[in-house]
Structure 1
Amino acid sequence: MGLSLGQYLRPIAMTDPARPVGAAQLAGGWCWFDRIEVLERGQPPRIVVASDLSAEQLAPLTAARSDFGGLSMDVPRIMGILNVTPDSFSDGGQFLRPEAAVMQARQMAAGADIVDIGGESTRPGAVEVAVAEEVARTAPVIAALREGGLGLPISIDTRKAAVAQAAFGAGASILNDVTALQFDPAMGRMAAELGAPVILMHSIATPETMQDDPYYDDVLLDVYDALAARVAEAEAAGIARDRIAVDPGIGFGKTLAHNLALLNRLSLFHGLGVPVLLGASRKRFIGTIGAEAEAARRMPGSLAVALAGVAQGVQMIRVHDVAETRQALSLWRAVTEGGAR
């Protein structure tokens, strides 16, 4: 099948046990597909048979993803959120004391595959935290976890190279940058020198202004193009493609309608050929749709969104409620795969 410039291929992800002969495996994972939705700006979507595509066209969609941060990407992975901040939208202040943060991380370790530690809130309207303060909040917690024997991968959620450098010195192993290396000009070079796996998240502007009337021509394709550009920039900085993952940035410079449009067709992002992370836990749109103003009470809605992402083949889900998500994911896999997990 010939594709013209400006066309995008979205595999229609399936987990049904009645898999047709010849169906392709999605990204070497747990979903399969035999149809492709072709998207193009200004044109209605159309569906084609996957077998009509060339091997070159199918390769980014079918190739098994490399291990990321020491974890295989052939099963869904849970990233547990640990905010060592006074003002994060959901759990601000709960784990600001190092002792509380260490205890929470150890509890998360029972169900999480990765612990994600951040010392600067990126909620809408949040102001920038000084580097020294962010380092003081995060590096000692990471060091204490490593000294206490925590073996899980630890990601540092930061947009500042100096904070990341200190975190890696303390024992972090993954960089999670909500600006996809755009906030700090030194970040890309530092990550390349460290050989660090990097998660590139889509966002616009800064947390202070990102929700000030965000606009896109086509949010799905605009975010895809922006992430493709960031992947290319990361490679140009010396970061190998097999050390890159992407995150469409749900809630970061997006309205409720934007978030739903991205979630509805998440499988498009497999076309970038790297693991995909979904971080939607407890976010405002869940509270709006689920009629729950209190962020800490949005766990049921967060589970629904996380499982919807896994059903589209998303390899990593970033969540606050680790134990509940692990239970939900175990049941989802048992039902879809026909065996206990």
Structure 2
Amino acid sequence: MTINCKGKLIDLSTPKIMGILNVTPDSFYDGGNYKNTMAIMSQVKTMTSQGATFIDVGGYSSRPDADDVSVDEELQRVIPIIEMILNECPDTLISVDTFRSQVAQQAIKSGACMVNDISAGHLDEEMLKTIANLNVPYIMMHMRGNPKTMKSLTNYDDLVADILFYFSERIAKARALGIVDLIIDPGFGFAKTLEQNYELLNKFELLRMTDLPILAGLSRKSMIYKTLNSSSEEALNGTTVFNTIALQKGANILRVHDVKEALECITLTQQLH
């Protein structure tokens, strides 16, 4: 199970880590932490040295009720950061976290190697065609609506069956356009209630029916800290528990804020196999 990043084959049969780099002022956990080049590069170097295979750069907060930003603003946040990272650390494999085809195109042109789209192409009808033309790996996430409306769109006939149907349609459309490297993300916290997030994690192994690599984005999510009556700052231990469960159920990529702890999860769970 491999994906091609800039001519380098990444074997996902051994789980990999995607480190989160939010360059937004309002992300739920680390918003506003990386306001200058020194802080950004320090975080990138820390994550890669601790074992991150990918760095996921995002300039649009997708937390519930997040403020909308223009395409130009998103480009101004993301593109200089990608160029700066690659200028200093040229071997870094950068994923761009965007649902906009224009941002995806410019990010890949600037040196990113992968696109991570929370909407699987639903929020920009040009996205799938753009990915096909760029010929890069594409992460498609399950979500309904958009960050402002998703909390009201949680009615499912059968949660996991509906998610699998969603992916079957998205995969078929992507394959018809010639997109080769696809990764699915079930979208914990996106258009799902607290109880539905737990149901999804409990049945996570069913996603393997797609025969595609699976990304698990559980890091410091509200399903952890709301259950524990704590906060995102106190959710590292819970994240480790959930990452371990996801790995045991077939996750191929962990998207995390805390790389060192995630690598320990992978190292220990691999010993079980």
CA change 1:291–1:138 in 2 (3 A) is same
SS for the counterpart of 2:143 is: coil
Which structure has the larger Rg?
1
- Picking from 238, 262, 269, the partner of 2:207 is 269
* Deviation of 1:91 (Å): 0.6
Aligned 1:255-294 pairs, distance under 5 A? 255-292=193-230, 294=231
**8 Å contact 1:177–1:199 — kept in the other structure?**
yes
Unaligned runs of 5+ in 2: none
Structure 2 residue 271 is the aligned partner of structure 1 residue 326:
no
- Picking from 101, 106, 126, the partner of 2:40 is 101
* Deviation of 1:203 (Å): 0.2
How high is the sequence identity, in percent, across the aligned residues? 36
SS for the counterpart of 2:108 is: helix
CA change 1:213–1:175 in 2 (3 A) is closer
What letter matches 2:113 in structure 1?
A: S
What letter matches 1:177 in structure 2?
A: D
What letter matches 1:253 in structure 2?
A: A
**8 Å contact 1:98–1:140 — kept in the other structure?**
no
What letter matches 1:250 in structure 2?
A: F
Question: 1:97, 1:322 → 2: CA distance?
Answer: 21
SS for the counterpart of 2:240 is: helix
Unaligned runs of 5+ in 1: 1-64
Query: What is the aligned partner in structure 2 of residue 143 from structure 1?
Result: 83
* Deviation of 1:257 (Å): 1.0
Residues 310-337 of structure 1, C-alpha deviations (whole Å, 9 max, x = no match):
0012111111111121123223333x14
- What is the TM-score of this pair, normalised by structure 1? 0.76
Question: 2:244, 2:4 → 1: CA distance?
Answer: 21
Q: Which runs of 4+ in 1 moved over 4 A?
A: none
Query: What is the aligned partner in structure 2 of residue 297 from structure 1?
Result: 234
Query: What is the aligned partner in structure 1 of residue 70 from structure 2?
Result: 130
- What is the TM-score of this pair, normalised by structure 2? 0.95
Question: 2:120, 2:95 → 1: CA distance?
Answer: 14
* Deviation of 1:290 (Å): 2.3
Aligned 1:1-341 pairs, distance under 5 A? 65-69=1-5, 70-110=9-49, 111-212=51-152, 214-240=154-180, 243-292=181-230, 294-334=231-271, 336-337=272-273
Question: 2:133, 2:262 → 1: CA distance?
Answer: 34
**8 Å contact 2:25–2:31 — kept in the other structure?**
yes
Question: 1:131, 1:98 → 2: CA distance?
Answer: 22
* Deviation of 1:213 (Å): 5.4
What letter matches 2:60 in structure 1?
A: E
**8 Å contact 2:3–2:137 — kept in the other structure?**
no
Question: 1:273, 1:180 → 2: CA distance?
Answer: 17
**8 Å contact 2:145–2:153 — kept in the other structure?**
no
What letter matches 2:251 in structure 1?
A: V
**8 Å contact 2:254–2:262 — kept in the other structure?**
no
* Deviation of 1:214 (Å): 1.4
Question: 2:90, 2:228 → 1: CA distance?
Answer: 36
Question: 2:65, 2:192 → 1: CA distance?
Answer: 14
CA change 1:108–1:300 in 2 (3 A) is same
The aligned length equals: 269
Question: 2:143, 2:221 → 1: CA distance?
Answer: 15
SS for the counterpart of 1:224 is: helix
**8 Å contact 1:122–1:207 — kept in the other structure?**
yes
Higher alpha-carbon deviation: 258-267 or 90-99: 90-99
**8 Å contact 1:106–1:150 — kept in the other structure?**
no
